[in-house]
Chains A and B, each alone.
Chain A
Amino acid sequence: MSRSLVRHLILKDFQMHRTSIVFSIVAGVTGLAILQLKGLPGLLGIIGFFTTLIVLGSMIPNTSILNERKGRNLAFLMSLPISMAEYTTAKVLAALGMFMIPWLVLVGTALSLILGRSDIPHGIIPVTLILVTAPVVGFCVMIAVALVAETEAWVMTATIAVNVAYSFCWVLIVSNAELRGGLGSPTPIWNPTALTVLGSEFAAIAVILAITFYLQSRKKDFV
């Protein structure tokens, strides 16, 4: 595998989408800043924070993968000395990077805010991590669909499905007594349920990405 070429392709994607990355960080941090306010503005801050993660998660696969196909740039890319495996690697790594950088900044900021304030129970940390990892899973689903299915219709279907899944995820977490029980604790409670849910999310990410590479390797027509 030509690592140099893969690196160049990743850098190209970062260069082309840097505005989106910066904008999402600004939007997310603004949401976190509003979250500091009490009452309705605080709730809007939470919504703004999660909306940023969810929108970023569906925007990157669209702009960096699907638009390249729709804009007929894929033939240009595939005329370069790369294989489909390298293209897939570059796309997955670039997309993950473009999503995970804002995600890490925002989640890091959110955790710092929780840890830095004594009036917020640290018991919300496990549930917070479960909730913020869900958009990463959804993002990986979107990457997989954009790369493998390659059509706008499938990506739109995946976007709707993923967004509906978030709502179920919220309801399941909030209604789970074990997860809910530790929310008011002054320290994080990593009970088996919290660890299982978080572990399942990471496992889902690994499985989705593995399936993506497998399906891509079976393709015979790329352009």
Chain B
Amino acid sequence: MTDLAIKLESVTKRYRYFTLDNIDLDVPAGEIMGLIGPNGAGKSTTIRILLGLVHQDSGNVRVLGHRMPAEQIEAKWNIGFASEDMRLYDAMTLGWHMNFMRSLYPKWDEKYAQLLLKRFCLNAEQKIKGLSHGQRVKSMLLLVLARCPRLLVLDEPTTGLDPVARHEILKELTAVMNDEGRSILFSSHNTQDVEQISDRITFIDRGRIIDSMDKETYLDRWRRLRLEVPAGIELHALPGIIDIRQDGRLAVATSNDFVPDLANAYENTGARVQSIENMTLEEIFVANVERSREEVEA
């Protein structure tokens, strides 16, 4: 059996205007899981539940083998959490924060912290209030990474960063994964970032997980077919096609389980396949969300 860093089973959390509905999620140890969803999809609530910061109404949560929220203290020794809306103390310096963390965590790696300080071009003497947004995010990551956690949970860490800062952070996260025992749960609505570093990807929308599989499978299975349709013929969705839009003699079919026979099947209906296009993760995400919403509304 694969070791799981995170296991959520039928987790539900109800708020007045939002429900996280029956979430099942497995993150195997040693993997990077990207959690993609639009704003308000439930990414942050899911993350807060698995950290014990929010208690689920029902369902089971295990993180690094610990039941949450009951065993959150034991679990949090090995979890590094950084969130876009988390702030360090403005009035204190980064050095003060480093000392604070060093005093708490016996596994604090000072050499690595100093290396990250240089790599991220940060100054330990500088007060947090004087740092740019990018520097604040990097400071937060430094404090998280230098404590050597087995699980990194990052809630929209790259939001609002310039491309250079994003690249630096993603590079560091990839480097962290050289230690095979580590796992990362990385939430974002920026599919490019997630695509760059994730092994597996989970899509979440309106409090429900709508799809979850490894990144390569997504990219292999999803295709867009551009078709030329003879006059008077209306194309229908074949098995493996989740969406088909026809405008006169042109049609676009989206497949989430593409096999070459699918193109042949459309050719047999009289249509001509103009092109079969790979889809980007963003396009897959949007198509997935639209399909899910149509299913719910149907």
Contact = CB atoms under 8 A, between A and B. Distances in A.
Interface of A: 2, 5, 8, 12, 16, 71-73, 75-76, 78-83, 86, 220-223
A41 B123 CA distance: 50
Nearest to B87: A72
Interface string B54-79: 11000000000000000011101101
Nearest to A11: B103
B103 A8 contact: yes
A83 B88 contact: no
B148 to A, nearest CB: 14
Contacts of A220: 54-55
B83 interface: yes
B90 A72 contact: no
Which of A5, A78, A79, A221 has most B Cβ within 10 Å? A79
Contacts of A2: 73
Contacts of A72: 85-87
Interface residues of B, number: 28
A143 B100 CA distance: 24
A70 to B, nearest CB: 10
A146 B48 CA distance: 22
Given A81-B104, A83-B73, 7 more contacts: A8-B100, A16-B91, A71-B87, A79-B86, A81-B77, A223-B48, A223-B54
Contacts of B52: 83
B219 interface: no
Contacts of A71: 87, 89-90
Contact of A221 (B54, B91, B103, B104): B54
Nearest to A223: B53
6 contacts: A75-B83, A79-B80, A80-B104, A220-B54, A221-B54, A222-B53
Contacts of B86: 72-73, 75-76, 79
A12 B289 CA distance: 45
A76 B144 CA distance: 10
Interface string B81-103: 11101111111100000001001
B19 to A, nearest CB: 14
A5 B89 CA distance: 18
B92 A16 contact: yes
Contacts of A16: 89, 91-92
A12 B99 CA distance: 11
Contacts of A5: 104
Given A79-B79, A83-B73, A223-B54, A8 B89 contact: no
Contact of A80 (B55, B76, B89): B76
Contacts of A78: 51, 53
Contact of A75 (B53, B90, B100, B104): B53
A79 B53 CA distance: 8
A158 B58 CA distance: 35
B88 A76 contact: yes
Contacts of A80: 76, 104
Q: Give the 7 A-B residue pairs with the shortest CB-CB distance, closest first.
A: A79-B81, A81-B76, A220-B55, A72-B87, A75-B86, A223-B53, A81-B77
A194 to B, nearest CB: 43
A17 B73 CA distance: 27
Interface in B86-132: 86-92, 100, 103-104
Contacts of A222: 53-54
A18 to B, nearest CB: 12
Contacts of A221: 48, 53-55
B88 to A, nearest CB: 6
Which of B52, B55, B73, B90 has most A Cβ within 10 Å? B73
